[in-house]
Structure 1
Amino acid sequence: MASAQFQILSILCRTSRRVVNGALIEFAAMTILSPSALSRDVVSTYIGTSIEQFQKNTLDNFRPLYHFVSSLVEEQQFLSALGTNFYTRGVLGSNNFVTFSAIYPQQVDLTQSSFMSNETCQCNRTSDCVYPAGIYNQTRSIIPNEVFSLDVSPLFMIPGFQVGCLPQNALFQSTLECFYNQTCLDIVISLTGALRTVSPLNISNSYSQFSPTTTIAVLFDNLMIESWENSIHFATYFQTCAPKACSYSYVQRFVLIYMITTIVSVFGGIRVAVYIASPLFVKLILRLCCRRVQVIEADEGHESSRIISQQVIVRNPSLDQFEHLHDMYSSILSCPCRNSSIQRSTFISSEVQIHPFCTSHFVRDDRWLQYWTMKFLDGSIDPTPSFDFFDFRKNGFKFFNYVKILCDTVNISLANIVHSFQAKYFFSPQLITPLQLNETVQDWNASFRSQIYSLYPPKFYPMEESIRQSGSISRDIIEHSVVSNQINNTWILEYTTSYIGTNGPVPCDCMQAPYCIMPMLIYNECFYDEDCVQMLIDQRLCGNQNIYLPIDLDNITALDPNTLISFTPQDQLINLMFSSLANQLVYTPNYTLYYAECQPEICTYTIDQELHAVARINLVIGLIGGLAVLLRILVPSFIKIIHLFYSFCYQQTRGEKFFSSII
């Protein structure tokens, strides 16, 4: 089995590499919407969070696909070409044949390869039966209906490696511990004559997150990724952003000199104003008011000199205050978010309702799934009930098993999409309005629906197609695929294609046509029809009440067609799959929650105001009066300082002359 298993291992490595590379390309194509330049800390937080989410999504999106394929293979019960799960034997002297299931002794403890219990594992019940892998000097055929065992001791047991029903199932339960050990590897090389140029794998706790005894299933479930190496280049981001301008505002207290100057200016202005303007105050006001219109009309070019800008700050505004401010000053209002990085799940509710059939009794109730178990009156199970192969009572169980696999896989995938979408962060440097938020969420909603509705075709359909094209033989239809020919008085069994009748006159060849189907005498809409469901229950034993035990199916009722929103009872399952079984999608924002997450500390807006004529006169008078008072205070002191300086210089000069005359 080693050849098949190492080919599978190679495929797993290539698959992991393709999945990761594809995810990296998709991640690299993402765009950061940043109307304003973001700080280094914000960029690091955003990119770091996005990378963590990307890594998680890569694994979460891959695992359902892997388990979907594994479940399909398990359900199909393909015959391994190695003859390790099922094998067909012809009956001597006839053209009859019998298909047997391999039976393995149950291994109790995988760490003790030779420890087998009396329990058995049958491949017709599960494909996970395993047996310790070794190198034997013996050829042994599997005997029908006997537990597989070897009579001689192995030349060497491969530590951690397993064989069993199917190569891939046994491989997933195996470890690579032998290939980390030089001694073990040397023994394998000496006994097989292969791998002569291969050196053991390097094991180091500082290098690998996995141990040598980690199963291959765990390795593949983690896409065989040892580590993610991430780096964030803020300089590159800043160069790409290339901000055109940076602006800031600040609040500053009055300095002492400015306060003194302002007070002096005010008092001086009042004094001068009272002295000069008292007699003519009323006349002046009237004349200024009359001339105001004329000045504006005649000198519009200098109007800006009469305008002052005033910044208004509203601290910790409420939602109602913001809405009022936005109505009044929408074009000049600025409300920076305290938290510019907001997780979508904090203000957006999302819900995906899967098709009601997936949650119905027909898929989830074990009693309905016992419909196909025919027990004799003594309690033993009839393995081959005498129903036609195309009868619902014989092969209907397969349909419900497939539906359950599809429902479970899609349900997990949809949950991952919703979680991934909700875990993303919305960057909102500025508080946006409800209308802007709704427009943004509409774009997200379109992307959200696109991801969900495109789930099946690119991911699941290629896997189904590859299985369909593989030419594998399923145990379920082997009676239609095996013929016995007599050659030289010897009966030879041959596998051939199946021909399944269709509604047309020509049988359908499964080798040529992708879909060969026959109706099971019931249709999808049967499960929405109470009479049809009751007919299935009543006709279960088909007149064999004296042979088989009945079961209680009173709780099984038809589905309500009114629960269907995106589908109809007549839709085929393939059409449901192309819609990802999504019956309803709800993706709605809550602006109040968004506002609470944004938490703007301040809202600011700047308004331009024209100085009133009186205010302008008062300003000029204040400046003149202030200057007069200031000069009145400073000029005498200034003159005294000059006089003192002059006296000092004069005395110095006289002293020098007196000293020189004495010499």
Structure 2
Amino acid sequence: MPPSIFFTVVPLIERIRAAWRRIQINALQLNLFKTGKTRTDALELRVGIISTRIYIILLCLFFTVLIIFNGLRTQLQNVSIQNPSQIIFEDLQKSYPITLQCPCSEIAISFDSFLSLSPTYHPVCSSPYVSFGWINSIVGTVNLNFSYSYTDFHMVGEAFFSSIATLCSLAQSTISDDLYIFNQTTLITGSAVSYAELMAHADAALNQFKLNTLAEFKRALSLIQLHTDVMFSTTRGNADLYTSQLISNITQVDRIDFHSVPTIYGNCSCALSGYCQQQVDMYSNGNESTYEIKFPIPNVFIGCFVIQSVLQSTLECFFNETCLNAVQAEISSVQSINVSVLDANSTRFSPETLIGTLIDALMVERWGETIQYSQYYATCAPKLCTYTFTAPNNALYILTTVVGLVGGLAVILKFIVSLIYDLIRYKMQSRITIINRAGTFY
């Protein structure tokens, strides 16, 4: 009968424990610095194991340092995008505002290609008050057989509203002419700019345009005042003209002399100052001997020179229905036209604002600026956008870099540890020799 063979089944956990013990033993006895003596010389074996542990510890330490160092490093990456759309450009501008560069195909872009102005003027400039019909309504009530006071609205009204019409027309024509020149001005941008930056450029250009236009308007107005200030006013605002007929007893020839008497407003004479003025009143339409002030026209003035006094006046009466109705009742004639009060809600200025203040604003309520960024970008039309950004090293880059360095590092470490190995062996061998000598002595 053949002998029986028994198999012992070892549990899995026991096999794992046994394998782990073998790994521990092999790890503890690992020697990367074996020599011919390590098999027979216990000291040589011990020094080799110690050196191996030092080598592995140093290698792991340097390996960890390399991984951490390369993991913390960042790379500068360059990216290029062909023919970027406006949406892509705006997204890139938000993400990479400092490094983004998108050279324009057209670096000189005229303002009218993306910016438009549609000024809205004070309501008086588009009202019947500056029309021929209204001005003729005032003139139509003047009776040439009567003599009027130089502060009577019947005499002053025509010049007052004609001056306002002139100022409105001058402001509009000045703005129109300067706007034509402004539209031909170019914005120089080597690279596409963001909406905010374009707005800043446009605002600066518009502010300069407004300053230049106002200066141009003031020069034209000063020139008009210079010419009118040296003339006699038809409203008798600065002087009354008189004639006298003289007949010589000798020659029997008639001679007519002309002379003027400066107008006096209160205690101010136009012969001494050009800034005298007085409030305009509505008089009863009759003979000078029966002049009667029916009511004042609030803050409407007449002075030595029409434009100067108009600039010091306001339009508040013509924003007030009661005041306007009273004025219209006094100038009612077959030539009269009905006008409505000015709408206070259609202006940013109060009814009490001086006309001179309106002039300083060029009679403009709103400039109506419209900036179309899409038109600017379409004209700029960048063909290429480039940007740079820093990004952490990816795992593959870190792995390849560390592996590439570890090969050379392992050789260097092994050389260094070999020196340490020789030093340790020398120290330990010296100590054993001393101990052996001491034992022999005793």
Q: Same fold (TM over 0.5)?
A: yes
1:424 is the counterpart of 2:191: no
Question: What is the Cα deviation at residue 314 of structure 1?
Answer: 1.3
Distance in structure 1 (CA, Å) of the matches to 2:260 and 2:94: 77
Larger radius of gyration: 2
TM-score, L = length of structure 2: 0.60
Corresponding residue for 2:160? 399
Distance in structure 1 (CA, Å) of the matches to 2:164 and 2:363: 11
Could you report, residue by residue, the CA deviation over 1:428-456 in whole angstroms, capped at 9, with x for unpaired residues? 11011122222222322332332344344
Corresponding residue for 2:381? 599
Distance in structure 2 (CA, Å) of the matches to 1:338 and 1:318: 14
1:481 is the counterpart of 2:263: no
Could you report, residue by residue, the CA deviation over 1:310-355 in whole angstroms, capped at 9, with x for unpaired residues? 5422122122211222233332221111221111122223232222
Distance in structure 2 (CA, Å) of the matches to 1:288 and 1:428: 57
Corresponding residue for 1:294? 65
Judge conservation of contact 2:111–2:184 (CA < 8 Å) in 1: yes
Distance in structure 2 (CA, Å) of the matches to 1:473 and 1:488: 29
* Aligned pair partner of 2:273 in 513, 516, 535: 513
Distance in structure 1 (CA, Å) of the matches to 2:59 and 2:83: 42
Distance in structure 2 (CA, Å) of the matches to 1:292 and 1:441: 58
Corresponding residue for 1:536? 327
Where relative contact order (Cα < 8 A, 6+ residues apart) is larger, the structure is 2
* Aligned pair partner of 1:493 in 251, 257, 261: 257
* Aligned pair partner of 1:612 in 397, 402, 408: 397
Distance in structure 2 (CA, Å) of the matches to 1:299 and 1:396: 88
TM-score, L = length of structure 1: 0.41
Question: What is the Cα deviation at residue 412 of structure 1?
Answer: 0.2
Q: Which runs of 5+ in 2 are unaligned?
A: 1-57, 282-296, 301-314, 406-442
Question: What is the Cα deviation at residue 383 of structure 1?
Answer: 4.7
1:451 is the counterpart of 2:212: yes
Corresponding residue for 2:90? 323
Q: Secondary structure at the match of 2:98?
A: coil
Distance in structure 2 (CA, Å) of the matches to 1:619 and 1:591: 52
Residues 1:320 and 1:449: Cα distance change in structure 2 (over 3 Å)? same
Could you report, residue by residue, the CA deviation over 1:120-144 in whole angstroms, capped at 9, with x for unpaired residues? xxxxxxxxxxxxxxxxxxxxxxxxx
Q: Which runs of 5+ in 1 are unaligned?
A: 1-286, 376-380, 542-548, 621-663
> Which stretch of the first structure deviates more once superposed, 335-344 or 483-492?
483-492
Question: What is the Cα deviation at residue 494 of structure 1?
Answer: 3.8
Aligned residues: 308
Q: List aligned pairs for 1:237-636, cutoff 5 A.
A: 293-295=64-66, 311-364=78-131, 366-374=132-140, 383-384=144-145, 387-465=148-226, 467-468=228-229, 470=230, 472-474=231-233, 476-477=235-236, 480-482=240-242, 484=244, 493-502=257-266, 506=267, 508-521=268-281, 522=297, 523=300, 524-541=315-332, 550-551=334-335, 553-554=337-338, 556-565=339-348, 567-607=349-389, 610=393, 612-615=397-400
Q: Secondary structure at the match of 2:101?
A: coil
Question: What is the Cα deviation at residue 396 of structure 1?
Answer: 1.4
Counterpart residue identity of residue 496, structure 1: S
Distance in structure 1 (CA, Å) of the matches to 2:199 and 2:189: 14
Judge conservation of contact 2:155–2:235 (CA < 8 Å) in 1: no
Give the root-mean-square deviation of aligned CA atoms.
3.6
Q: List aligned pairs for 1:640-659, cutoff 5 A.
A: none
Distance in structure 1 (CA, Å) of the matches to 2:149 and 2:320: 24
Judge conservation of contact 1:314–1:603 (CA < 8 Å) in 2: yes
Residues 1:571 and 1:289: Cα distance change in structure 2 (over 3 Å)? farther
Judge conservation of contact 1:454–1:580 (CA < 8 Å) in 2: no
The share of aligned pairs that are identical, in percent, is: 23
